[in-house]
Structure 1
Amino acid sequence: MLQQALVILAGGGIGDALMAIPVARVLRDGGREVTMLANPSTKRLLAGHPLLKEVIVDDQGGTHAGLSGFLRLVSEIRDRHFGEVLVLWSTVRTAWLSYLARIPVRAGQAGRLLYSHLYTHPVSVRSEKGDTRSHWVDCLLDYPRALGIPVHATSPFLEITDEDRERSHRLFAEIGIPIDRPRVVIHAGKGISLAGKIWPTGMFARVADELARRWEVAVVLSGSEPEKPLVELILSECKETVYDLSGRTSLRDLAGILSGSLMMICPDSGPMHIAAAVGTPVVAIFALAKDFPDRWHPHGVPFEVVRKEPPPCPPGCIKEKCKDFRCMAAITSEMVLEAAERLRARLPEGHRDVENNAKGKKWTSA
């Protein structure tokens, strides 16, 4: 019987979940069955992932709310008899969960007064020691390393199913894009409540227009339902035909749409990591001084980072309190277009065959 391992990522976002997939890979390669504890939106993205036996939801807004809900979750985890847990998103809640569930081997974040003593294998987080260069994928692999599990180079991935592909084909048909037409996806939003942290809409519109003219591709704007007004503003500034899929896609739908696309253009965001996970090259906008592109860039695919160096952020600026996001305004549409041209020049000719690429591009290097 295979040893049962639990990976806890209940507090992270889309990118955090996808960058945890390499941890699941090395656990599986080490002879373990892997279950992930995640939030509801992450489960919808990772459900059915071939590396995961199960995705359990920590429903803090419902079933697992409050003390009684937390104890219910403890019981659910304890009943599965995990031998190991890797807490990639450490909080007081997740630390006590792993401890009270009586999982004998527990790896989690070191250096936290309130809960690190609950772990049998505390792990020093590199970013807290000033490391801004290591990619987060490799930082997360420090958790299996702490348990003596062999680690190898691997990247996040999502498997695109026939159902995902058929759904994306229907969506393209609904907005008038032939399946075999090369396409570029632009995702302007970041899914956070910082409106100023969006690259100016006029810049996105100029990039969309220029790519539609220069490359004769279908330029598709994606976005969640809350991001739809942002997309509509960009569309109002476009002069060429640009297609709108905002508010019409789930995370799985977005993965299907990105699979087989020529490239994605977006800020550092969860959708950026979805693109990388399905093998789609990315032009990524990293404007803020503390965006740290070495840590967060798309992993495992060809990419270009667009960034003004040094970022024009005043000393001590943090994004939650920034008044003007001048770093965003410092990035021009021409900088993004030049990055897109560089990235396109690096891609093999076969990458333009979108149907072939939709079956799963495997890049040997990024």
Structure 2
Amino acid sequence: MSRRVLCVRLDNAGDVLLTGPAIRAVAASGARVTVLAGPNGAAAARLLPDVAEVLEWRCPWIDPKPDPVDSEDIAALVSRLRRGSYDAALVFTAFHQSALPTALVLRLAGIDSVGAVSEDYPGALLDLRHRVIVEDQPAAERALSLATAAGYRLPPGDDGALRVRQPLPDVRRLAGAGPYVVLHPGTSAPARAWPVERFAETARLLHTAGRRVVVTGGQSETPLTRTAAAGVAVDLGGRTDTGQLAAVLAGADVLVAGNTGPAHLAAAVGTPVVSLFAPTVPAACWAPYGVPHVLLGDQHAPCRDSRVMTCVVPGHPCLSSVTAAEVVRAVAAMSRLSERVV
């Protein structure tokens, strides 16, 4: 019987996608991999290759809008995990998150071998306390370093890039025929958002230049996508699930987006990204991984490394300083680079 390994990543979709190479390394050992993900990341976890099962749980010490800690909820999760009879678990986190509360839950569930990145003394909570030496390491490499420390390695021929399951759904009826540029105006944090009026201006400039434009967004973002589409783009706001969005991005020449999940989804399908990147977190860690990309935005702005969710600097200068014309030029440059790579 193959080993059963639980891989835990409890934050957002992009974070789960960045953990994909590490999860492939675990699966390459022959283990049956279950992913425990939060509600914002579970759909992305289901897109990852080599994942046998996805469990969903909202974690009060990781979720950006947490519910109060509830002893009955924790007990129910412990029982659920105990039934899984896992041989081992790896807890994947960002540099500013602690793995130790999650490790405590895993111990209560009877998991004998638990590993995580931890600077703090873990006591009896961790069997593997992995310490990351390289500062500002790309998030995908940080996760893979934990898997490697636990004895899991990518198989020969796996380059460690982000990936999703294939085949992806046919989305030609949604995106239309022919090449196009995708604009994704939404972000999970207002501090990472480029003004929607700039997206609308970009759509008009691209349309005038003869480029087809597709705008994407979630169910709650339809007013945003309608504005960004500016009457000249295909508006897919609220019309795609995660798999369909991956397929739309796979068909695009370039994605224009902030530091948000779809930027990492684009990387997972090999699409170049024009990244409107607010420096609230380090670009070295969270920029699109493994694909051609360009970062636009003042990376030395006062909000640098602050992790704020809402901008506290009047005028949001780190991103508002970026013009639509700059984005259009970057789209052209990324399109030419993509053509040379192909």
User: By the TM > 0.5 criterion, same fold?
Assistant: yes
| Aligned position for 1:222 | 216
The TM-score with structure 1 as length reference comes to 0.80
| Aligned position for 1:54 | 53
Instruction: Compute the displacement of 1:120 (Å).
Output: 0.7
SS in 1 for 2:331: helix
How many residues are treated as equivalent by the alignment?
Answer: 327
Query: Hey, what's the Cα distance between the residues in 2 that align with 1:230 and 1:346?
Result: 30
Matched, 1:212 2:207: yes
| Aligned position for 2:112 | 104
Change (3 A) 1:209 1:85: same
Change (3 A) 1:228 1:28: same
SS in 2 for 1:51: coil
Instruction: Compute the displacement of 1:112 (Å).
Output: 3.2
Change (3 A) 1:6 1:337: same
Q: Is the 1:13–1:270 contact (alpha carbons within 8 Å) kept by the matching residues of 2?
A: yes
Cα distance per residue 1:91-147 (max 9 Å; x no partner): 45411121112222210232335x564001112245xx7x12x21111111211222
Matched, 1:169 2:168: no
| Aligned position for 2:140 | 137
Give the letter for the 1:265 counterpart.
Answer: V
Change (3 A) 1:317 1:78: closer
Instruction: Compute the displacement of 1:278 (Å).
Output: 1.8
Instruction: Compute the displacement of 1:54 (Å).
Output: 0.9
Matched, 1:121 2:112: no
Q: Is the 1:109–1:116 contact (alpha carbons within 8 Å) kept by the matching residues of 2?
A: no
| Aligned position for 1:17 | 16
Bigger Cα displacement from structure 2, 68-77 vs 314-323? 314-323
Q: CA RMSD in A?
A: 2.8
Query: Greater helix share, 1 or 2?
Result: 1
Instruction: Compute the displacement of 1:315 (Å).
Output: 8.1
Q: Is the 1:3–1:31 contact (alpha carbons within 8 Å) kept by the matching residues of 2?
A: yes
SS in 2 for 1:40: coil
Q: 2:293 aligns with which of 291, 303, 307?
A: 303
Gaps of 5+ in 1: 352-366
Instruction: Compute the displacement of 1:160 (Å).
Output: 4.1
Matched, 1:149 2:139: no
SS in 2 for 1:122: strand
Query: Hey, what's the Cα distance between the residues in 2 that align with 1:73 and 1:187?
Result: 35
Gaps of 5+ in 2: 61-68
| Aligned position for 1:254 | 245
Query: Hey, what's the Cα distance between the residues in 2 that align with 1:88 and 1:146?
Result: 13
Query: Hey, what's the Cα distance between the residues in 1 that align with 2:50 and 2:26?
Result: 9
SS in 1 for 2:220: coil
Query: Hey, what's the Cα distance between the residues in 1 that align with 2:239 and 2:194?
Result: 22
| Aligned position for 2:75 | 71
| Aligned position for 1:268 | 259
Query: Hey, what's the Cα distance between the residues in 2 that align with 1:31 and 1:218?
Result: 44
Query: Hey, what's the Cα distance between the residues in 2 that align with 1:317 and 1:59?
Result: 24
SS in 1 for 2:17: helix
Query: Hey, what's the Cα distance between the residues in 1 that align with 2:263 and 2:308?
Result: 19
Q: Identity, % of aligned pairs?
A: 26
Give the letter for the 2:102 counterpart.
Answer: T
The TM-score with structure 2 as length reference comes to 0.85
Q: Is the 2:24–2:49 contact (alpha carbons within 8 Å) kept by the matching residues of 1?
A: no
SS in 2 for 1:226: helix
Q: Is the 2:184–2:217 contact (alpha carbons within 8 Å) kept by the matching residues of 1?
A: yes
Matched, 1:277 2:273: no
Q: Is the 2:179–2:212 contact (alpha carbons within 8 Å) kept by the matching residues of 1?
A: yes
Matched, 1:202 2:210: no
